Homo-oligomer: A and B are copies of this chain.
């Protein structure tokens, strides 16, 4: 949490700056606009490792020519409930947003549909795509893996085989949607790197070193030889996280037909988007009655000592988003500094902060 004296920015002003920076780096208008909006959206909901923190790395990828500035995904299959795109390393947030919209359109016709993207640029945090589907009364699941990276060990192992392999699902309810955003590893690469940079430890054995010793120290990932993040379930029941990782890597890279076999070196993503339209099953109202009941039962669950209340995933994101839209967004000092650096280099200025 930042002190209240930290500058607060209007989210729309930050979107405008990010969009201008992407445009000045050569991105098409629509790609710049969508990428900027979705990065700020991640900050709005509290995923600040996957918000404007990614702006400078993305600009760097564009400058180095590893992220395409312009073009369209190539359609490799259209089945009609199964679509496969070659993303050609176009900006991943833009690709995934379009894939989500297309999956929803097809689901509205067919009941369910899958869009798989191979060779997508990095897609940031999956949570930001869920609203596009839940706002139209649909259910969506996104999963992704990056075959160019391995930081997570399988259960019983001491070397990385997988990426964290995030999976996110949005479920409409009569009120705010349930937004689940988890990964097959206990923590994420971004969080692990942040803890390491700040010299902090994790609250439990979230890592394993190269010798196979469980560790609460994120620096084992950067050691030589390198350790790894542990899968969900940790030492006790990490076969569950390992199973989830195999499902996510298998679906994304397998259906895409591009993955660890090709051993790509470009930072990117293999993405699966699955949409379901409740209207073509038992109806949207029947769906939200059940999800509303589930959410109510979770909220009514008495908490264990030391826990204030039992939360439904998505509640905190919605509250943060409301607060940031009303009171402005505070950026962590390192993120703000990087944004200012990029702005200055492009001859632009940070927006004026909101008055205290």
Contact = CB atoms under 8 A, between A and B. Distances in A.
Given A112-B114, A246-B178, A254 B232 contact: no
Contacts of A118: 282
B246 A281 contact: no
B161 A254 contact: no
Given A243-B180, A243-B313, A281-B256, A212 B157 contact: no
A345 interface: no
A242 B311 CA distance: 10
A84 interface: yes
B159 A301 contact: yes
A242 B313 contact: yes
Contacts of A261: 289-290, 293
Interface in A301-318: 301-305, 307, 309-313
Interface stretch (A5-13, A41-49, A50-58, A233-241): A233-241
Given A289-B261, A290-B259, A294-B246, A310 B111 contact: no
- Chain A's interface size range is 35 or more
A277 B116 CA distance: 13
A287 interface: yes
A302 B159 contact: yes
Give the oligomeric copy count.
2
A182 B80 contact: no
A257 interface: yes
- The majority secondary structure among interface residues of chain A is mixed
A33 interface: no
A260 B81 contact: no
A81 B212 contact: no
Given A234-B236, A294-B253, A298-B154, A304 B171 contact: no
A334 interface: no
Interface of A: 76-77, 79-84, 107, 110-114, 116, 118, 139, 141, 153-159, 161, 169, 171, 178, 180-183, 186, 203-204, 208, 211-213, 232-234, 236-237, 239-244, 246-247, 249-251, 253-261, 274, 276-278, 280-283, 286-291, 293-295, 297-298, 301-305, 307, 309-313
7 contacts: A81-B111, A158-B304, A204-B236, A211-B305, A234-B237, A251-B276, A255-B282
